[in-house]
Structure 1
Amino acid sequence: MDEESSAERVEFRNGPDQILPASSFKTSDADGAVQLYITEEGVTADQPISIHTMLKANAEEYPKHPALAVKKNGIWKYWTYKEYFDESRTVAKAFIRLGLERFHGVCIMGFNSPEWMLANFGAIFAGGICVGSYTTNSPKVCRHILDDCQAQLVVVENEVCLNKILAVKQFLPHIKAIIQWSGVPSAAGVLSWAELMAIGLAEKDTELNERLSLSAINQCCTVIFTSGTTGPPKGVMCSQDHMTWVAKQFMVNMPHLQTAYEVIVSYLPMSHLAAQMLDIYMACSFTGTVYFAQPDALKGTLLHTLIEVQPTSVLGVPRVWEKMYEKMQEAGASAGGIKKTLGSWAKYHGLNYYKALFNNRPLSWYESNANSLAKRVVLNKVKTALGLSRAHFLCSGAAPISKDVLEYFMSLDMPIMEGYGMSESLTICSMSLLQPGMFRLGSVGKRLPQTIVRLKSSADYKPGDGEILIKGRNVFMGYLNSPEKTDETLDDGWLSTGDIGCFDEDGFLYITGRIKELVVTAGGENIPPLLIENHIKKELPFISTTIVIGDCRKYLSVLLTLKAEVDKNTGEPLETLTPSCQTMMKSLGLNVKTVVDVLDELKRNPQGAVATAIQNGIERYNENHAASHAQKVQRWTVLPLDFSLVTGEYNNTLKLKRSFVMDKYKDIIDSMYPDPMKLGKL
């Protein structure tokens, strides 16, 4: 702990909106306090408020406005903002009664639900630290998270989650109680949600108010554990000021968001910061209504919820938008005659409108009227069918998204704004906006006024590129219990992101690679694989995923997966090719339906139509986009299955786990690097 002990800190009893004295912008201690980056003027001069004060203000100003909605037995059940606030306090009182001490974790594991939100606020109100655990985490990962945050209470959704906790509970003596919010607990000593609420209702407000008086907005209230792509999950520490101030800044950046009007569908994992920011804190900042999707949302039911709710704001990771894009393309390909011609005409004018807007070019009389007609006849119907008729804010984050996907949605009058940030920057850094001069395809937008950004150049990067460094009130506190990693990442308030980027002449930021994902060839050249992978995917539209290989190798090669169907129940990739992929194979003269069929064809005819199409696509990349000889791809292999979260290639935020792929397909990778004297194209 800091030299200033927690015993000395209890003398400060002006909470919950107080700021404790601090001498540093960083800490790795659960009870540590940090300096806030507050200036005398501008957006960073805003008066800090606590999370309790934020929710209380909503409950007092909009007591009857719906805050949460969940569908059970075919009927939507609602919580008003007054009920939201009151029940959060009830949960907090129950947590205190069950033995929760300040600065200890309350770990929540389950799909998004009102109980998840209430447990989050209850933990923070009681002086604890909210910690989410992905439902896909193994018992081993659960143990690491619970131990790192010294969790005293665990809140789980169901028996599946409960069993993961029980499997490691013997190693976690600090756990005082486990609560299960769905169904009837089958394990002895596990409390139901109803029992938890009964405990809280029986308690007076005295102890809770005492905890709130000790609360400070520059201390940790939430820990977001990273997905552990390159090692054990690290705990990103967030203060109350982070949550309330950053949420308010999104309102500042997007003035079209309207108080007490916005509707959100909650479906991305709540253990991820982006989902917490939108579904919990941004929703509170504009007094929105959050509808919870079904647990199998990403397996196919999300569309049904979107159609029923018709949200106004939707956040998606690239994989979500890409799947929608592929399905719509397949539907469009099956249309014929006048319907197909009309659709193409409407999409042309939809895209033309936004290109003119972003280039600050006025539309002609014809263009304006054609766009209006396209909306009425085609585009509005498509938006309604996708559940996006009211959506005025569509956002993509967490990973790069292709230009093709962005242009396609734009042509349908559904422009997706791409943003850049990370858990350590509380999701804020740059963003594209629906304004002239604030959007450029391929860019993640301009630096937001709430952040300071600079590039740290290196001889390893091409001229103009550099590691992105961020400074501001949005930079995280540090990594829980990891002072060395905290010092590596934070220096005098500057956050080293590990991402490589560049600015163009107009101030638009482009992400060109990631330091830890750089491929360093045997010749010593540093190569960012992401750009190569995106170029190859564009050249080969039947390819789902590309992985560039070449670390410590003499040349680059690439792993490819074909677009295939997904099991709607399990989320596992199937061998059956998607209809669009089958159609593209037919255009090559092949009547194939599965990945196995394609692999058999490649084996029988190594110089056949499929192999030639792939090789030609890679040659087009080599000729038109490779910046040097070292960046040319010399060999390739098609893998037997596509990637997925279930099979381990993607993490919980649907980012590619490169190290996992390298280990899983080590033998195949090694086979692409035979004896140097026998090199040749596949």
Structure 2
Amino acid sequence: MEELQFLNGPCQIVPATQEIITDRDGFVKLRIPKTGTALETIEPLSVPGLIMKTAENYPDNIAYIYKNSENKAVKVTYSEYLKKIRVCAKAFLRLGLEPRNGVGIIGFNSPEWIISNMAAIFAGGMSTGIYTTNSPEACLHCAKLSNANIIVVEDEKQYDKIDQIRDQLPQLKAVVQYSGVPKNADVLTWDKLMEIGTQEDDTLLENSLKRIAINQCCTLIFTSGTVGNPKAVMLSHDNLVFDSRAIFEKIDAGPNEMIVSYLPLSHVAAQIIDMYVATTAAATIFFADKDALKGSLVKTLQEARPTKFIGVPRVWEKIQEKMLSIGAQSGFLKKSIANWAKAQALEHNLKKMKGEHSSSWGYSIASNLILSKVKQALGLDRCNIFVSAAAPISMDVKKYFLSLDIPIMDAFGMSESSGAHCLAIPSCFNLTSVGQTILGCKTKVVNAEDGQGEICMYGRHVFMGYLNEPEKTNETMDSDGWLHSGDLGKIDENNFVYITGRLKELLITAGGENVPPVPIEHIVQKELQNIGYAMVIGDKKKFLSLLITLSCEVDPVAGAPTEILTPNVQEWLKNIGCPAKTIKQVLEAGPDSKLLNAIQEGIDRANEKATSNAQKIQKFRILPSDFSIPTGELGPTMKLKRRIVIEKYQDLIDSMYS
């Protein structure tokens, strides 16, 4: 099929017969039913079409806000945003970006990140986010697989990775650095890039836009790569725009929304919310500073006062830890009032969740006089939807925030579903469900046993395939176009979806019992609230064991844990009679018997809730360091990388089973 026949882009659909492909130059058949909901059958729109439509309808709405070098807030409207995208796209084309080749982007969230992303798509290329934690070898894999013609880096630290692999990338034509002064003369500054684009006429760009089709790949999202190299998830224009529209409808977003951008934009959750839902709603995103996940997030929230907020479980846990630390320092009267207010809010929200009448004078007083101040202190006083995504969140954390009148809504999805597939909303949720399927999409359970099986997804948001990997694509997608999530779950009579475990994370003991580790870990952390992480091990073993970390302070520069224990942990150790300020002091002479007894008592309480003897923890060890992203135990969204932890502490694990 000659592509030159189709020059009606950027919102054309090229005829196609397959819903699944792995070829970068291919086109897919869109999953649009002949009849269905308004959203299911809504007219498709390309990414450039979406941005141009918003810029035309809301030209003066603020698209994003960032802090300049003088720490002053700079506001950029949607009309200005579109102009910057076009200028950047023209520069990419002049530098030699070829159709469906990659523009790699590696750096913390910034205007340059989202402009580069959109400009790559406008120019007919594929935006390719690269995690800032990637090694040079991992960057090489992403760049080679995407055929990256251009790589945009944040600073010298990220450029050094590219510099080490540059001679292995013959297709690479330019490197752009958007922060700091490049040390190499052949690296373009951001200002120089935009100068190149400004000097170009619109001919190349308009020709590229004409060739764009809604049903072709425009973005690559790399999976976490727990085994082997990460796969490149191919997302089409329709995948991204449809999912953003479905989320937009579900959360009732509008042009006055404020969203804080801090989760890694190389991850699908941040992309779909920060770039696509925000643009669909003509909303504003506020860029956090790069230390957001190291402790400065609340400061940004206080300044931005978002109306919608999404966090991964560890972010919510960190906020809870901070709140508990502050509460522990309060006097008796203040603590009693706070506990009363929290009890009122928890009762109110639990009744509301069940559809029961929940108004009371106690809740009104607690909400208006006490809990409103808590929200204000967190910068969440304007927020009407609080979301947790990317990993399971514990019931304990959800109940804690419910008692603060902050009901956390679960979201469920994956890179292969363009982001969200299920989402809870305040008017329709419960504590154990990830919500209901978003409009226009379908969920089913296959291979069910004991009422649960593998969760499968279908809809216009389901990805095209893994780039150049037909076998792995066929392992994930069946012949009818259903995406197999790898998650265990069930669906109830009210269409609420529940995730009960992960197929690949299931531990199979030597006795043949299937054990889901995450629920056990959540119970342990509820019983031992002063520890950091608890990781259950025991695959192919006779019994379960536990690896425990103690929470440590984070180095503000490196982002890695230090040896210094957090104030909460220090206070806990002091109270049980074995004071220590560092993890080294805890471990150097062997952990104090009082600490070991305190941990064992918590594990005993957790074991009382086990569903079988095979799910009881028999042994544990305290690790010499907390987990973090820089040290490799956590992924970009702070999800536990079990294989890495096991490899790192194999000798310690073996000692428990020898």
TM-score range, shorter chain: over 0.9
Alignment equivalent of 1:444, drawn from 410, 434, 441: 434
Match of 1:131, as an amino acid? Answer: T
Classify 1:283/1:251 alpha carbon distance in 2 versus 1 (closer, same or farther; 3 Å): same
Alignment equivalent of 2:6, drawn from 6, 12, 30: 12
Match of 1:470, as an amino acid? Answer: M
Residue by residue over 1:598-643, the C-alpha shift from the partner in whole angstroms, topping out at 9 and shown as x without a partner, is 436755x6xx332222223222322322x22222221111112211
Match of 2:32, as an amino acid? Answer: I
Distance in structure 1 (CA, Å) of the matches to 2:292 and 2:25: 37
Correspondence list, 1:308-327, <5 A:
308-327=303-322
Match of 2:371, as an amino acid? Answer: L
Match of 2:98, as an amino acid? Answer: E
Residue by residue over 1:393-428, the C-alpha shift from the partner in whole angstroms, topping out at 9 and shown as x without a partner, is 211100011111111112212221111111111122
- Contact 2:349 2:358 survives alignment (8 Å): no
Deviation at residue 227 of structure 1 after TM alignment? 1.9
Residue by residue over 1:450-505, the C-alpha shift from the partner in whole angstroms, topping out at 9 and shown as x without a partner, is 321111226xxx51121111111111111111111111111121101111112345
Equivalent residue, structure 2, for 1:381? 373
Equivalent residue, structure 1, for 2:52? 56
1:34 and 2:28 correspond: yes
Equivalent residue, structure 2, for 1:678? none
Q: Which moved more, 1:108-117 or 1:180-189?
A: 180-189
Correspondence list, 1:598-617, <5 A:
598-599=586-587, 603=591, 608-617=593-602
- Contact 2:247 2:438 survives alignment (8 Å): no
Equivalent residue, structure 2, for 1:347? 342
User: How many residue pairs get matched?
Assistant: 654
Distance in structure 2 (CA, Å) of the matches to 1:445 and 1:247: 17
Distance in structure 2 (CA, Å) of the matches to 1:500 and 1:126: 40
1:477 and 2:467 correspond: no
Distance in structure 1 (CA, Å) of the matches to 2:265 and 2:48: 19
Match of 2:415, as an amino acid? Answer: S
Match of 1:145, as an amino acid? Answer: C
Match of 2:566, as an amino acid? Answer: T
Deviation at residue 448 of structure 1 after TM alignment? 2.7
- Contact 2:17 2:29 survives alignment (8 Å): yes
1:618 and 2:603 correspond: yes
- Contact 2:246 2:439 survives alignment (8 Å): no
Match of 2:429, as an amino acid? Answer: F
Match of 1:53, as an amino acid? Answer: G
Identical-pair percentage: 48
Deviation at residue 673 of structure 1 after TM alignment? 0.6
Equivalent residue, structure 1, for 2:99? 102
1:286 and 2:273 correspond: no
Q: Which moved more, 1:80-89 or 1:510-519?
A: 510-519
Distance in structure 2 (CA, Å) of the matches to 1:624 and 1:343: 29
Correspondence list, 1:220-235, <5 A:
220-235=217-232
Equivalent residue, structure 2, for 1:371? 363
Q: Which moved more, 1:442-451 or 1:293-302?
A: 442-451
Distance in structure 1 (CA, Å) of the matches to 2:147 and 2:170: 9
Distance in structure 1 (CA, Å) of the matches to 2:577 and 2:204: 74
Equivalent residue, structure 2, for 1:360? 355
Alignment equivalent of 1:427, drawn from 392, 395, 419: 419
Distance in structure 1 (CA, Å) of the matches to 2:573 and 2:43: 60
Equivalent residue, structure 2, for 1:582? 570
Correspondence list, 1:424-573, <5 A:
424-435=416-427, 438-457=428-447, 463-491=450-478, 492-573=480-561
Residue by residue over 1:139-159, the C-alpha shift from the partner in whole angstroms, topping out at 9 and shown as x without a partner, is 101100000000111111111
Classify 1:541/1:602 alpha carbon distance in 2 versus 1 (closer, same or farther; 3 Å): farther
Classify 1:507/1:586 alpha carbon distance in 2 versus 1 (closer, same or farther; 3 Å): farther
- Contact 2:21 2:28 survives alignment (8 Å): yes
Equivalent residue, structure 2, for 1:136? 133
Equivalent residue, structure 2, for 1:23? 17
Classify 1:490/1:281 alpha carbon distance in 2 versus 1 (closer, same or farther; 3 Å): same
Deviation at residue 646 of structure 1 after TM alignment? 1.7
Match of 1:27, as an amino acid? Answer: I
Deviation at residue 506 of structure 1 after TM alignment? 4.0
1:190 and 2:174 correspond: no
Equivalent residue, structure 2, for 1:406? 398
Equivalent residue, structure 2, for 1:666? 650
Deviation at residue 179 of structure 1 after TM alignment? 1.3
Distance in structure 2 (CA, Å) of the matches to 1:505 and 1:621: 31
Classify 1:513/1:363 alpha carbon distance in 2 versus 1 (closer, same or farther; 3 Å): closer
Alignment equivalent of 1:70, drawn from 41, 66, 71: 66
Distance in structure 1 (CA, Å) of the matches to 2:493 and 2:51: 42
- Contact 2:269 2:420 survives alignment (8 Å): no
1:251 and 2:248 correspond: yes
Equivalent residue, structure 2, for 1:160? 157
Match of 1:206, as an amino acid? Answer: T
Distance in structure 1 (CA, Å) of the matches to 2:182 and 2:606: 57
Distance in structure 1 (CA, Å) of the matches to 2:399 and 2:348: 12
1:628 and 2:604 correspond: no
Match of 2:29, as an amino acid? Answer: Q
Residue by residue over 1:534-585, the C-alpha shift from the partner in whole angstroms, topping out at 9 and shown as x without a partner, is 1222222222211111112121111111233322332222333333333333
Residue by residue over 1:105-127, the C-alpha shift from the partner in whole angstroms, topping out at 9 and shown as x without a partner, is 01111111111111111110110
Residue by residue over 1:209-259, the C-alpha shift from the partner in whole angstroms, topping out at 9 and shown as x without a partner, is 11111110010000001122222111011001111111111121122x22x
Deviation at residue 376 of structure 1 after TM alignment? 2.3
Match of 2:559, as an amino acid? Answer: G
Distance in structure 1 (CA, Å) of the matches to 2:109 and 2:563: 31
Q: Which moved more, 1:303-312 or 1:615-624?
A: 615-624
* SS of residue paired to 2:14: coil
Match of 1:450, as an amino acid? Answer: G
Residue by residue over 1:132-177, the C-alpha shift from the partner in whole angstroms, topping out at 9 and shown as x without a partner, is 1111211101100000000111111111111111110100100011
- Contact 1:229 1:651 survives alignment (8 Å): no
Residue by residue over 1:164-196, the C-alpha shift from the partner in whole angstroms, topping out at 9 and shown as x without a partner, is 111101001000111112223221221111111
1:594 and 2:582 correspond: yes
* SS of residue paired to 1:421: strand
Which TM-score applies when normalising by structure 1?
0.93
Distance in structure 2 (CA, Å) of the matches to 1:452 and 1:507: 10
Which TM-score applies when normalising by structure 2?
0.96
Distance in structure 1 (CA, Å) of the matches to 2:526 and 2:332: 27
Classify 1:594/1:181 alpha carbon distance in 2 versus 1 (closer, same or farther; 3 Å): closer
> Which segments of 5 or more consecutive residues in structure 2 lack a partner in the other structure?
none
Match of 1:25, as an amino acid? Answer: E
Distance in structure 2 (CA, Å) of the matches to 1:574 and 1:139: 25
